[in-house]
Amino acid sequence: MEDFEIYMFQHGKGWNLVNETGSMLVYEKIQQAQKGSCLIALILLILFIIPGVLYLYFTSKPAKTFRLTVKVDSKERLIASGDPEGLSLYESFTKKDLQVSRIERAIGWAKKHWLVLFLIASTLLLFISIAPIPPPV
């Protein structure tokens, strides 16, 4: 849960923590209402009334509120629910977490088996160095 909080602090631009309990986090992102450019609307209204009105109607977007709720289940796994935008952010967190764990596993394996890797490499070098060179034909 703490890893997800750190991830949201670093990558969750615009997402605010609105509720936190021991086993649940609720994030919210408010997207402000957007309207079309007043200058373009004025030019279109002066030239042609109908395109100006259509421009103002179709370019306005209402305000939206997105939610993301992350809970911890009984097996200590994170369960996410909420809007698609929040779930995509959670998916990017889980993919990042999987990539880090794969790299850490590979490094751990190399540290654990460094002697075997060294012996294989030195044997190959020794074999290459003492192999007889065939005489020219």
pLDDT score at 115: 83
pLDDT score at 116: 82
The DSSP letter of residue 22 is S
Sequential DSSP letters for 25-78: EEEEEEEPPB---HHHHHHHHHH-HHHHHHHHHHH-B--EEEEEEEEE-TTS-E
Residue 110 phi, psi (nearest 5):
-65, -40
Residue pair 69/26 in contact (Cβ under 8 Å)? The answer is yes
Residue 61 phi, psi (nearest 5):
-125, 130
pLDDT score at 75: 81
The answer for residues whose C-beta is within 8 angstroms of residue 19's C-beta and 6 or more apart is 25, 26
Give the pair of three-digit tokens for residue 92. 């990017």
Give pLDDT tens digits along the chain (137 positions). 677 777 777 777 888 888 888 888 888 888 888 777 777 777 777 777 777 777 777 777 788 888 888 888 888 788 888 888 888 888 887 777 556 566 777 787 788 888 888 888 888 888 888 877 777 87
Three-class DSSP category at 118: helix
pLDDT score at 99: 60
CA atoms within 13 A on the CB side of 34: 9
pLDDT score at 13: 81
Give the residue extent of every domain in the chain: 2-129
